[in-house]
Structure 1
Amino acid sequence: MTLKLRSVGTSDRGLIRSGNQDALHAGTWLVAVADGMGGMAAGDLASSITIGSMAPLDVETPEDALVAALQGGIELATQRIRRAVGEDPERQGMGTTLTALLFARTGSCLALAHIGDSRAYLFREGVLKQITRDDTFVQMLVDQGVITPDQASSHPRRAVVTQALQGEDVSPTYATMVPAADDRWLLCSDGLSNVVRPDTLAEVLAGYPDRAECAHKLIDLALRAGGPDNVTVVIADVVEE
C-alpha cells in the first residue's frame, strides 16, 4: 500500500467583488492556491501566470527534488510576472499570493511552498493545525506581542501583505513533512480564512468526507458570512491505495 493524494478545488467570486482574482490547481501530485492583487485585470493575470507556472510540477517527483521543483516553479512565475509588468506599465504593483503542496511519487514525503496570506491547514486525527504563517502586517504585530490573534482577525490592516510574488526577488517559506494516511489538507485564500473561524473549518473537514461536498460547504459558509472577497478552497486527502 502506498499513499496517494486525491484533491478537488473550487472558487467563487464572492458577493462583493466584480470579478475573481483567485486561481487554483487541484491535481494528483500538486495542489495550489493563488490570490491575485493589484487592480482587477492585473491581479487576475498574476494569479493565473503563477498557477500556470506551477502546474507543470504536477508529475511524479522524487522526494529529494520536491523543494527544488517548487523553487523552480516560483522562479518561473516571478520571471513571467516581471515580463508582464514590463509589457504594460499599468500592471506595476500587481502580484499574487501562493500556497502550494507537492506530493512525492513514493508517497513518503511532501513539500510546501508559501508566500502571502493564503493558507494551508492540516486536519489530522481530529485536530486542525495551520501550517503556513501569514506574510502580513498584522501577523508581524502578533509575533511582536503588540496585538493578540483575536485582535488580528478584525484589525483594519489585516489585508496588508508583506510578501507576494510581484516579479521581484522574494523569500518564500519552504517546508517538508511526512504524510500519514487519512490526513486532510485545506488550502484556501483569505476569502475563507478571514470570515470562517478555525473551529468551524475543523467541523466541516470532519463532517464532510466527500471532498467536493466539503469544499462547497466551506464556500457556502464564506458566502453566508458576507462573501466580502473571492473565496477559493482546495481539499486534498492522503489515501492508501
Structure 2
Amino acid sequence: MELTIQLGGAHEGRLLQVQVTQRTDIGNRPENQDAVGHKLFGDWLVCALADGAGGHRGGQLAAALAVEMSLSAFEQSPTLERSRLLELMQQVNQNILHQQTTHPDCSDMHTTVCLLVINQRSAQAVWLHVGDSRVYHFQQAVLRSKTRDHSVLQWMIDHQQSDGQASRNALYTALGEQNEHLHMDVTEPCCLLAGDWFLMCSDGLWEHLNDDELALLGTSLWCAEDCNAHIHQLAFNRALGRADNLSSILVFVGEGGAQFG
C-alpha cells in the first residue's frame, strides 16, 4: 500500500512545502503485523508507524490500534510539548492493555510505535518512539539524528556489556507493558529547513540498509512517489527470501531535489 499527499504551510511568510509518502509490505511473512498512517488537519501533520508482535493476529491488532489511536488522540489534542505527548501515548497504551484483557487470544500483544509531529505554521517538528521502529532525520544527505533502539542488544552496547546470545529483536519496552514499565523517548522541537527529510521505518526495512545508503537514496529520489517502493525492493532483495514485514513513511520538506544538485 502506498499513499502520497502534498501539503503546504506558512513559514516566515512562505509556504512550508511538505510531501508525505507511506508504504507497507508483507515481505515473506504469512501476515503483515506493521501499520502506518498519517493525518493533516489545520496547521498539523502527524505520522505514525508501528510494528506489532504477540501471537496469531495479536501483533497485527496491536500495531493497528497504536496507529489509529495515536492519530485520533493527537487530532483531539495537538501539541509539540513533550509532557503532553507522553501522556497521549500512555493513553494509547492503556487502550492496548484493555484490549489484552478483552481479547484472550491477544493477551500477549505488543507493538513498537514511532510518531512524527510537524507544525506547518511554526515549521517545527518533534518525534517520539517506543521499541526499535526508527525515525531518521536528514538535512539533504547529512544524517542529523536517528532514534536509539529500545533493544536488549543496544542496551548492552550502551553499557559496554558483551553477550553473543543477545538477539537484535529482543526489546526491553513496547506498548502493551504496564505504564510504569514503559519507556518512551521524545525529542525537543527542532526547526525545519528546506532540504530536511524524515524516514520512519520498521526494523524489517532498516536492518538491510545502512545510514549512508539511506541518505543517498533519499536525496537521489527526492519527493519521488516511488521512493518508498525503491527502498523497500532493495531491502526485500537483500533479505534473500526471509524478509520481515517492511514499512516506511517518508516526509520531505522543500520544493524538490533540483536545488541540491
Q: TM-score, normalised by structure 2?
A: 0.81
Shift of 1:33: 1.0
Partner of 1:31: 47
Aligned-pair distance for 1:5? 3.4
Unaligned 5+ residue runs, structure 1?
none
Partner of 1:175: 187
Quote how far apart the aligned CAs of 1:69 are: 4.7
> Sequence identity, in percent?
26
AA of the residue aligned to 1:239:
G
> Secondary structure of 2:57's partner?
helix
Please say which of residues 43-52 and 189-198 is displaced more in the overlay.
Answer: 189-198
Residue 168 of structure 1 aligns with an amino acid whose one-letter code is Q
Take 2:177 and 2:252, find their aligned partners in 1: how far apart are those partners? 32
Match of 2:142 in 1: 127
Q: Distance in 1 between matches of 2:106 and 2:234?
A: 33
1:121 and 1:58 map into 2 onto residues whose CA distance is 23
Structure-2 change in CA distance of 1:98 and 1:188 (3 Å): same
> Which contiguous aligned blocks of 4+ residues in structure 1 show a shift greater than 6 angstroms?
none
Q: TM-score w.r.t. structure 1 length?
A: 0.87
Q: In the alignment, residue 243 of structure 2 is paired with which amino acid?
A: P
Q: Which amino acid aligns with 1:85?
A: Q
Mapped to 1, the partners of 2:100 and 2:175 lie a distance apart of 12
Whichever residue aligns with residue 223 of structure 2, its letter is D
Q: Distance in 2 between matches of 1:131 and 1:2?
A: 26
In the alignment, which of 193, 198, 202 is matched to residue 189 of structure 1? 202
Larger Cα Rg: Structure 1 or Structure 2?
2
CA offsets, 1:169-189, max 9 Å, x none?
012111122221220100000
CA displacement, residues 91-149 of structure 1 (integer Å, 9 cap, x when unaligned): 222110011111124233211111100001112132124421000011011112235xx
Q: May I ask how many residue pairs the two structures share in their alignment?
A: 232
Classify the secondary structure of the residue corresponding to 1:27.
strand
Preserved contact between residue 9 and residue 212 of structure 1 (Cα < 8 Å): no
Counterpart among 227, 231, 247 of residue 214 in structure 1: 227
Q: Which amino acid aligns with 1:122?
A: H
Cα distance 1:111–1:161, how it changes in 2: closer, same or farther (>3 A)?
same
Higher RCO structure, 1 or 2 (CA under 8 Å, sep 6+): 1
The 8 Å contact of residues 135 and 161 in structure 1, kept in 2 or not, is answered as yes
Whole-Å Cα distance in 2 between the matches of residues 218 and 166 of structure 1? Answer: 30
Counterpart CA distance in 2 for 1:105 and 1:59 is: 17
Local SS of the residue matching 2:225? helix
The answer to whether residue 237 in structure 2 is matched with residue 224 in structure 1 is yes
Q: Give the residue type in structure 2 aligned to 1:126.
A: A
Local SS of the residue matching 2:27: coil
Are residue 166 (structure 1) and residue 180 (structure 2) matched? Answer: no
Structure 2 regions of 5+ residues with no counterpart? 1-13, 256-261
* 2:124 aligned to which of 109, 115, 130: 109
Check 1:87–1:61 CA distance in 2 against 1; reply closer, same or farther (3 A cut): closer
Q: Which deviates more, 187-196 or 223-232?
A: 223-232
Matched, 1:18 2:30: yes
Residues 169-211 of structure 1 show CA distances to partners (whole Å, capped at 9, x for unaligned) of 0121111222212201000000011122222212211210134
State the distance in 1 between where 2:228 and 2:173 align.
Answer: 27
What is the DSSP-based 3-state SS (H/G/I as helix, E as strand, rest coil) of the residue aligned with 2:249?
strand
SS of the equivalent of 1:212 reads coil
Given residue 211 of structure 2, which amino acid in structure 1 is its aligned partner? P
CA-based RMSD of the aligned residues comes to: 2.3
